[in-house]
Chain A
Amino acid sequence: ENVLTQSPGTLSLSPGERVTLSCRASQSVRSSYLAWYQQKPGQAPRLLIYGASSRATGIPDRFSGSGSGTDFSLTISRLEPEDFAVYYCQQYGSSPKTFGQGTKVEIK
Chain B
Amino acid sequence: QVQLQESGPGLVKPSGTLSLTCAVSGDSISSTNWWSWVRQPPGKGLEWIGEIYHGGNTNYNPSLTSRVTISVDQSKNQFSLKLTSVTAADTAVYYCARDHSSSSLDYWGHGTLVTVSS
Contacts and interface: CB of A to CB of B under 8 A. Distances in A.
Interface in A2-26: none
Contacts of B60: 96
Contacts of B45: 88, 99-102
A39 B109 CA distance: 13
Interface residues of B, number: 23
A45 B39 CA distance: 11
A97 interface: yes
B61 A96 contact: yes
B75 interface: no
Nearest to B100: A50
Given A1-B62, A102-B45, A35 B108 contact: no
B13 interface: no
A37 B59 contact: no
Contact of B109 (A44, A47, A51): A44
Nearest to A100: B45
Given A44-B109, A51-B103, A97 B62 contact: no
Interface in B48-93: 48, 51, 59-63
Contacts of B48: 90, 96-99
Contacts of A57: 106
12 contacts: A1-B62, A37-B105, A45-B105, A47-B103, A50-B106, A51-B103, A56-B106, A90-B48, A96-B62, A97-B36, A97-B51, A97-B99
Given A33-B104, A50-B102, 20 more contacts: A35-B103, A35-B104, A37-B46, A39-B46, A44-B110, A45-B46, A45-B105, A47-B105, A47-B106, A54-B103, A56-B103, A56-B106, A88-B45, A90-B46, A90-B105, A96-B62, A96-B63, A97-B99, A99-B45, A101-B45
Interface of A: 1, 33, 35, 37, 39, 44-47, 50-51, 54, 56-57, 88, 90, 92, 95-102
